[in-house]
Chains A and B, each alone.
Chain A
């Protein structure tokens, strides 16, 4: 379990994240939703130690993450940011093999390559595994990065807007993979996501943030309600039940 206690972060004098306390349940998908500038990505970056927090504590299985060795954390928690600009030219397979660095420090063993093969198969990248990243479409590239995270084989997987710039088909594909990671492999997935319908259909818990504070958190059913969404987004959103899924209609 990840426990966040009174965490704050300032940029200059602006509070980006203000006194946030949260518990992230194990073995579930938790989505962070909220308008732009709500502090979702900042919070996620602090959980994954990419950013330092100004105040508060973040406990991973009861231990403050600042106290853990970075190389040990890399075996427990992984993060994928929304933009991944890499200057070196890599094939998918080479990229995925980087996911084993925390275990092998660069000298991959047979065991490591088994994990790499598995991750590639899991993400259905077998046919194109020797292609270079710059030859791929956005959806393929995103799958390649997720394959790297799968190879890293951490219990907690954090993703910052994994559906950014993807079309509907690829978005659904990615979300289904995340669902499978949780259901079949028992991972804990935390995502920052803008499309509230994807959040509604695929996540177990939702945390709604606004202006650096948690407005509401709870199960998907509790959060996806017209009143809560109005509090978060300042707009009237109609909610329809379609095949047991709650779909938000906000286009008009």
Chain B
């Protein structure tokens, strides 16, 4: 287990080093800070997404779900579309980036909070009901965004389209620091719940049998997921696509049930995927494709390979 984690760490560090050094052309003062910022954003969002998806899959006992099912991604797109629709694309340059970030984060957390509050008021609601409602809201926000996108000027639509894909190119330093502090604070507050994850992967009945205050802990985890996903989405754009792949690869690769290893492993795999993907996008395709396409293609292929290999060994 240790060897695997050390191996992943080395791969991640090597990739980061390559990313920092490649084609610098001597302009270190200019290149390094810019690239460092990208790397920080990647490490931050990559780990956060891996962690949220892992926790989300554990509490739902389902390996094919991601937090995007509660509709946070769609809400983010809706907010962005709405801003452009109401104020025009120039507003994006006019409105301070920090303001946009704060509005997005606050609205997403507010939405998740209301959704949970409303659902958990009635005792004994099952978590799949929450997912169903989230899915419906997600579809609603999606349709609303599409509708607004049809109405706006094609040039402004291009600006919306920019927002549809995760991008590490224009990450604001101030936002990066704010997010970093926020995420660390949230992480410290919720650290004590981490120990419940292993038990919760046995399912609700066993978790209660073993003394977990199940409903309470699930609520806490859903809140932490909403906050983390909101922050990372507002920072770089919709990025939950990554989680599904990364967490499943982590499960296959680590072959353990212990979340303390899985958390580290999936975060490292996530960083590797993002840095590797970005290297390919920037150096091989010279920005002619998007990061999500590369990550999903390579990751998907690797995942299928793992499954086929597993099949044979049984």
Residues of A within 8 A of B (CB): 48-50, 52, 69-75, 78-81, 84-90, 94, 98-99, 101-102, 105-106, 152
Known: A87-B62, A102-B210, A106-B195. 11 other contacts (CB 8 A): A49-B208, A71-B211, A71-B212, A74-B211, A75-B211, A84-B203, A87-B203, A88-B202, A89-B257, A101-B199, A106-B199
Nearest residue (CB) in A for B260 is A106
With the chains together, A72 CA to B214 CA distance in Å? 14
With the chains together, A79 CA to B202 CA distance in Å? 14
Given contacts A87-B62, A101-B199, A106-B195, whether A79 and B210 have CB atoms under 8 Å apart is no
With the chains together, A73 CA to B199 CA distance in Å? 16
Which of B123, B198, B209, B257 sits near A79, CB closer than 8 Å? Answer: B209
B124 is an interface residue with CB less than 8 A from chain A: yes
Which of A72, A87, A94 sits near B61, CB closer than 8 Å? Answer: A87
Give the distance to chain B from A115, nearest Cβ to Cβ, in Å: 14
* A94 surroundings in chain B (CB, below 8 A): 257
Q: Is the CB of B203 within 8 A of A86?
A: yes
Q: Is the CB of A48 within 8 A of B206?
A: no
Nearest residue (CB) in B for A135 is B314
With the chains together, A17 CA to B55 CA distance in Å? 36
- A72, A75, A78 — most chain B CB neighbours (10 Å): A78
Give the distance to chain B from A47, nearest Cβ to Cβ, in Å: 12
Number of A-B contacts (CB under 8 A): 66
Nearest residue (CB) in B for A87 is B61
Which of A71, A81, A85, A89 sits near B213, CB closer than 8 Å? Answer: A71
- A49, A50, A71, A106 — most chain B CB neighbours (10 Å): A106
* B201 surroundings in chain A (CB, below 8 A): 86-88
- A50, A87, A152 — most chain B CB neighbours (10 Å): A87
Beta-carbon contacts of B107-142 to A below 8 Å, as 1s and 0s? Answer: 000000000000000011000000000000000000
B63 is an interface residue with CB less than 8 A from chain A: yes
Give the distance to chain A from B216, nearest Cβ to Cβ, in Å: 9
Nearest residue (CB) in B for A81 is B205
Number of chain B residues close to chain A: CB under 8 A: 23
With the chains together, A102 CA to B63 CA distance in Å? 26
Which of A71, A72, A99, A106 sits near B198, CB closer than 8 Å? Answer: A106
* A81 surroundings in chain B (CB, below 8 A): 205
With the chains together, A200 CA to B203 CA distance in Å? 33
Give the distance to chain A from B304, nearest Cβ to Cβ, in Å: 19
The majority secondary structure among interface residues of chain A is loop
* B209 surroundings in chain A (CB, below 8 A): 48, 50, 74, 78-80, 152
Q: Is the CB of A74 within 8 A of B210?
A: yes
Q: Is the CB of A70 within 8 A of B62?
A: no
Which of B124, B205, B206 sits near A52, CB closer than 8 Å? Answer: B124
Given contacts A70-B213, A87-B63, whether A79 and B205 have CB atoms under 8 Å apart is yes
Beta-carbon contacts of B205-236 to A below 8 Å, as 1s and 0s? Answer: 11011111110000000000000000000000
Which of B62, B195, B203, B257 sits near A90, CB closer than 8 Å? Answer: B257
Given contacts A50-B205, A87-B61, A88-B257, whether A98 and B212 have CB atoms under 8 Å apart is no
Given contacts A87-B63, A94-B257, A106-B195, whether A50 and B208 have CB atoms under 8 Å apart is yes
* B205 surroundings in chain A (CB, below 8 A): 50, 79, 81, 84
With the chains together, A131 CA to B212 CA distance in Å? 27
* A102 surroundings in chain B (CB, below 8 A): 210-211
Instruction: Write 28 A-B pairs (CB below 8 A) sorted by A numbering.
Output: A48-B208, A49-B208, A50-B204, A50-B205, A50-B209, A52-B123, A69-B213, A70-B208, A70-B212, A70-B213, A70-B214, A73-B211, A74-B210, A78-B209, A79-B205, A81-B205, A84-B203, A84-B205, A86-B202, A87-B62, A87-B201, A87-B203, A90-B257, A99-B210, A102-B210, A106-B198, A106-B199, A152-B210
Give the distance to chain B from A184, nearest Cβ to Cβ, in Å: 23
Give the distance to chain B from A79, nearest Cβ to Cβ, in Å: 5
* A85 surroundings in chain B (CB, below 8 A): 203
Nearest residue (CB) in A for B212 is A70
With the chains together, A87 CA to B200 CA distance in Å? 11
